[in-house]
A and B are shown apart, each in its own frame.
Chain A
Amino acid sequence: MSDTRNRETVLSINDLGVSFSTDAGAVRAVDGVTLSVRRGEVLAIVGESGSGKTVTAKTILGLLPETAVSDGAVILSSRTGQDSNNVIALSRKRLRQVRGTDVSMVFQEPSTALNPVYTVGWQIMEGIRAHGGVSRADARAKAIEILGRVGIPDPETRIDYYPHQFSGGQKQRVVIAMALVLEPGLIVADEPTTALDVTVQAEILDLLRRCRDEFGAAIVLITHNMGVVADLADRVAVMYQGKVVEEADAATLFTNPQNEYTQKLLAAVPYVGQGVVRAAARAEARTGQWSAQAPVVVADNLRIQYPGRFGRPGFVAVDGVSFAIRPGEVLGLVGESGSGKTTIGRAIAGLTRVTDGSLSVLGHEMNGFRERKFKPLRSQIGFVFQDPASSFNPLLTIAECVAEPLVVHGRADSARGARARVDELLEAVQLPRAFGDRYPHELSGGQRQRASLARALALEPALLIADEPTSALDVSVQARVLELFAELQREFGFAALFISHDLAVVDILADRIAVLYHGHLVEEGTGAEVLGSPRDPYTRRLLASLPVPDPAAQALRREELAKLRAAE
């Protein structure tokens, strides 16, 4: 009886604990985790950053750094089920044999997981030949076969390509091919789609599903995206502060979460359609004169080109874009990476030069812009950056950072003189006054992003540019920051350009949504128009690619997306 069960289970983690030695002493990252994965099953481990999910995954491959100490047992059985090993107790030599053949890994960032100076074929073959007695020709044939199976077109020639010759999604396919080539029983995928655009994410998720169905591999999927979980997982384990707080099959977890933390996590996930009511209420509150007011930002046939290298044409990031933002209005700008959305935000803030067309910010023409003339207007513009960790000078306290705009524009003579106003601002963004005396690294990501909002609002700007303000945050924290943003917008009444790659996030806040694709504005309208009945095929595909946190609904959407793709 126990023998058959062993053959059924690829991985069983028993009471795993991992401690790290840090300068602050020992820190326990994983605490008494017990999990098991059956053959051909996808187990998703979800949780916010720091919950110990990645550490658990790395333990499975014995990839923990030297500063880590682990106890408990991680029993990994080979594909045939003949052999099983406790990874924690394995010698380095045995560990090398187990990696690749019994378990392999798909990394988060495909562009750094591949070595840029070798061809992808060489890198796949290296794995094959490391596990013994395969001739060069055989290894090559095998590499070509696996590249074909993961959906790289024309694998016979592309095997000799270097990583930079592939797109991001294709690179991730190559990484998955490397993981699959020795046919391991288990694949550990650590945030495999986080670095990819939504449309590409859908394709990679399809491929991972095929890994399970066609290759019969079990997958441990580490992610923070509940939509991805709903799309792919059979079973879900929710981790919180180093412990597994809930484990259930996907359908049960999403429909009937038991643990309080899981319930809150699911409630915090944004979904498309949340903001429509709010936007409509805001639109109704506006009087007829509102539309007659002069817009804060007007872009007319805007074109921004980055200079190319000597003798080569530059890269056109934004081409022929026209839009307007009226006072007190939130425009959501959506698009995938490279679509030019950040460039537009930077151009409005005067960080990037306009090449052609017209961009008028608060009545000032940005084409041919002079810093000296624009400077007085800068007090009218707030900017919230994407990464809260790097947008504060690490050597200044939060209070000094928030006081910086007040000092620069002469509203206060020193950071100390501005302290009263800084305290008000910190309270407006729901941070305790005492946080002003802390250094940025002493705050968590969400707290830092709120301090960043406080700094942007210090001069009560007429326009706020928020460039992916929540994409570096966990879902639960993101929900709070978004709510705060909406509240502050109501209170201060500033116009805002809200840039994001996530349609659901934009939908919550924006009055109108603009969709960018390869530097062109493909669609613009109210949230209800763009999300309810999209006209442009790209918008339609973008919407369909967005996974929803509901396994049943997601299965339907998947079919819809397949139809859309087939129609194109």
Chain B
Amino acid sequence: MGATDTTTLRPTRRSILARLPLVHQVRQSMGLQRGMLVAGLVITALFVLTAILAPLLAPYGYSQLRDTAGAFGAQQAPGGAHLLGTTVGGYDVLSRVLWGAQTALFVIVVAVVLSLFAGVLLGLLSGYFGGWLDRVLVVMCDAVYAFPSLLLAIVMSIVISGGKSDLVGGVMAAAISITVVFIPQYFRVIRAETVRIKAEAYVESARVLGASNGRIMFRHVLRNATRTLPLIFTLNSSEAILTLAGLGFLGFGIEPTAASEWGYDLNKALSDVTSGIWWTSLFPGLAIVLVVMGITLVGESLNDLADPRLRGRRAVGATSGLVAETSVVPGGTLTAGPVGLAGLEIAAHPPLHPGDDSEANR
């Protein structure tokens, strides 16, 4: 009840551009929320661009130790040919940081896509059918939760690749170990949503119609259950980077000759810190912090914007606004007669001021 329940307040159709996922949220946000979202988007975009353009941006290869002028030399201070110096192993720090973005993005994409599909499917089946399948899956997911995620990732990486390997093997090992840790999160969320939606009247209505289980699950339940996925998706991405860096730091990462990896570089820079060589640890560390912060900012902002109670709105003037057209048949009840569509048509198109970012009916 009240003005927020303006059932016939019909938003004008937004343009396709404005309906794109992130563009829509940016337009919808305001104030600090918009600042956070935009900052997060900018950092994330920079990260993705760096990853894609790493071959062009990086002055050297990730495993390059020498150029035409000879070997780089170990632990060179920033400046000259090496803007950010070189590592103890003789690699160029800037190149390693830029190439590292590529590895990180690769791992995020593989890990999140794998866990997304497996988690969503299992959650849907478990929530919809219930019974013993549900109980077994829930117990298994709880068991996965009980392990420290990094420990589990280490075990998985040993199982999958014996600890170390080349680019694809190393990335897959890291990605699959992260997948195992993340499946329960998607599973839990989708299962909870499915259980809720299963009791909704439109699912019952589909059952009364005699729709098959598959049709109900994928047409009616799944599409309505995926609302919170983008949030977990972004938050998991940042966690995936941390897990990958943690694996690398502990020495279960990818060989420096196979790919560049920030956690591995940090591990090798450990002894440098005490001898005053700051550049080998600072820049990979900074890269991790920046990317995690960027993605987390996006995730948190999306979370706030998705909830009307947390979403900021522009203040209104005391006497502004139109009276909401809330009546179904304006001014009357039965006068429109049995076939009186005239009244309905008027109610359906209330005089609306052009506000294209309207979401009154969500």
Show the binding face of A for B, using Cβ within 8 Å: 17-29, 31, 48-55, 58, 67, 69-71, 240-243, 260-261, 264-265, 267-268, 349-351, 375-376, 378-379, 381, 383, 385-387, 390-395, 401, 404-405, 408-409, 430-432, 435, 441-447, 455, 474, 476-477, 479-480, 483-484, 487
Contacts and interface: CB of A to CB of B under 8 A. Distances in A.
A390 B201 contact: yes
24 contacts: A17-B318, A19-B318, A19-B319, A19-B320, A24-B11, A24-B360, A48-B326, A50-B1, A50-B7, A69-B315, A242-B3, A261-B331, A351-B207, A375-B210, A392-B205, A394-B202, A404-B206, A404-B209, A432-B341, A432-B345, A444-B8, A474-B328, A484-B338, A487-B338
B268 to A, nearest CB: 51
A268 B321 CA distance: 31
B4 interface: yes
B332 A260 contact: yes
Given A51-B326, A430-B339, 19 more contacts: A20-B2, A20-B3, A21-B315, A22-B360, A25-B353, A29-B3, A50-B324, A58-B2, A67-B313, A241-B323, A242-B323, A260-B332, A391-B205, A404-B211, A408-B215, A443-B7, A444-B328, A476-B329, A476-B333
B361 interface: yes
A431 B224 contact: no
B142 interface: no
Contacts of B348: 432, 435, 447
Contacts of B215: 408
B1 A49 contact: yes
B17 interface: no
A71 B318 contact: yes
A69 B316 contact: yes
A478 to B, nearest CB: 9
B1 A23 contact: no
Given A67-B313, A404-B211, A55 B11 contact: no
Contact of A267 (B202, B212, B223, B333): B333
Contacts of A431: 344
A52 B315 CA distance: 20
B56 interface: no
B357 interface: yes
A349 B207 CA distance: 9
B320 A28 contact: yes
Q: Which of B326, B334, B361 has the most CB of A within 10 A?
A: B326
Nearest to A388: B201
A376 B345 CA distance: 38
B326 A26 contact: no
Interface of B: 1-11, 28, 200-202, 204-212, 215, 219-220, 223-224, 308, 311, 313-329, 331-335, 338-341, 344-345, 347-348, 352-353, 355, 357-362
The 7 A-B pairs with the shortest beta carbon distances in the complex, nearest first, are: A50-B326, A26-B321, A29-B3, A24-B358, A378-B210, A476-B333, A23-B359
Contacts of A51: 326-327
Given A55-B2, A241-B323, A378 B209 contact: yes
Given A241-B326, A408-B210, A441 B339 contact: no
A442 B10 contact: yes
Contacts of A55: 1-3
Contact of B333 (A70, A430, A443, A480): A480
A445 B327 CA distance: 10
Nearest to A406: B209
B333 to A, nearest CB: 4
B316 A480 contact: no
Given A24-B359, A54-B2, A375-B210, A268 B333 contact: yes
Identify which of A17, A18, A408 gathers the most chain B CB atoms within 10 Å of its CB: A408
Nearest to A452: B205
A27 B9 contact: yes
A193 to B, nearest CB: 16
A50 B357 CA distance: 22
Contacts of A24: 6, 9, 11, 352, 355, 358-360
Contact of B201 (A17, A29, A52, A391): A391
A40 B361 CA distance: 40
Contacts of B206: 393, 404, 408
A260 B333 CA distance: 10
Contacts of A483: 334, 338
Contacts of A408: 206, 209-212, 215
A408 B214 CA distance: 12
Contacts of B7: 50, 441, 443-445
B131 to A, nearest CB: 14
A245 to B, nearest CB: 10
A509 B326 CA distance: 28
B211 A26 contact: no
A58 B358 CA distance: 25
Contacts of B362: 23, 441
Contacts of B207: 351
